[in-house]
């Protein structure tokens, strides 16, 4: 009799533990290097209930961590900025310095090498690139002027 009560109690405790762990929330954060390659993954388990002040502090920190810095590179006389990467569909290419009369050829290729976007852009200012119509995945952005050609890995979420 005592052993059956122990088995039932142990089963009940195990059921509660498994049920509680199945309701755990996970937050996965990735860190990327300047080329867009993932260099780390952090899994955060959120189990404990939060007070309002703790939730506000966490949301403020999380909002600051989600701020995506632009990728910047010197391209001859120009400084190229590409952001946000990863993108939800609206990519911005910023070009500063150099000859304002010069143009860049912009090509966006999918992972199979098919050209999905082609454009010619001015070598000064910010240029929006609309990727909303494209599927999520990895794309290669090719920027080329009369002297140089550079490729960038773009991630569309």
In this prediction, residue 135 carries a pLDDT of 94
Handedness of CA 7, 10, 16, 17 (dihedral sign): negative
Domain boundaries defined on the chain: 2-66, 71-156
- The pTM assigned to this predicted structure is 0.57
Indicate the burial class of 73 (C-beta count within 10 angstroms; 0-12, 13-18, 19 or more): middle
Q: Which CATH class is domain 71-156?
A: mainly beta
- In tens, the pLDDT along 79-136 reads 889 999 899 999 999 888 878 888 899 999 999 999 999 999 887 889 999 999 999 9
Question: Sorting pLDDT into bands at 50, 70 and 90, what band is 30?
Answer: confident
Higher-pLDDT residue of 31, 24? 31
Higher-pLDDT residue of 84, 19? 84
Higher-pLDDT residue of 140, 57? 140
In this prediction, residue 15 carries a pLDDT of 65
The Cα 157–Cα 149 span in angstroms is 26
Higher-pLDDT residue of 28, 100? 100
- In tens, the pLDDT along 31-72 reads 777 777 777 777 665 554 444 444 444 444 444 445 566 777
DSSP 3-state assignment of 16? helix
In this prediction, residue 56 carries a pLDDT of 46
Q: Is the pLDDT of residue 17 over 90?
A: no
Torsional class of 36: left (φ above 0), alpha (ψ -120 to 50), beta (otherwise): left
Query: Could you tell me which of 88, 138, 132, 93 has the C-alpha nearest to residue 112?
Result: 138
């Amino acid at each position: 009799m005592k052993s059956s009560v122990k088995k039932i109690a142990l089963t009940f405790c195990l059921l509660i533990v498994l049920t509680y762990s199945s309701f755990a929330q996970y937050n996965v954060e990735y860190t990327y290097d300047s080329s867009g390659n993932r260099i780390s993954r952090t899994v955060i388990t959120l189990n404990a209930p939060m007070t309002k002040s703790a939730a506000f502090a966490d949301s403020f920190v999380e909002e600051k961590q989600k701020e995506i810095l632009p990728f910047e590179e010197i391209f001859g006389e120009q400084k190229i900025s590409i952001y946000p990467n990863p993108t939800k569909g609206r990519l911005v290419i910023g070009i500063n310095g150099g000859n304002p009369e010069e143009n860049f050829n912009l090509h966006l290729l999918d992972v199979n090498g098919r050209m999905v976007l082609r454009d010619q852009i001015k070598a000064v200012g910010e240029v929006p690139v609309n990727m909303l119509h494209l599927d999520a995945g990895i794309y290669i952005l090719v920027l080329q002027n009369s002297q140089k050609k550079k490729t960038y890995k773009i991630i569309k979420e």
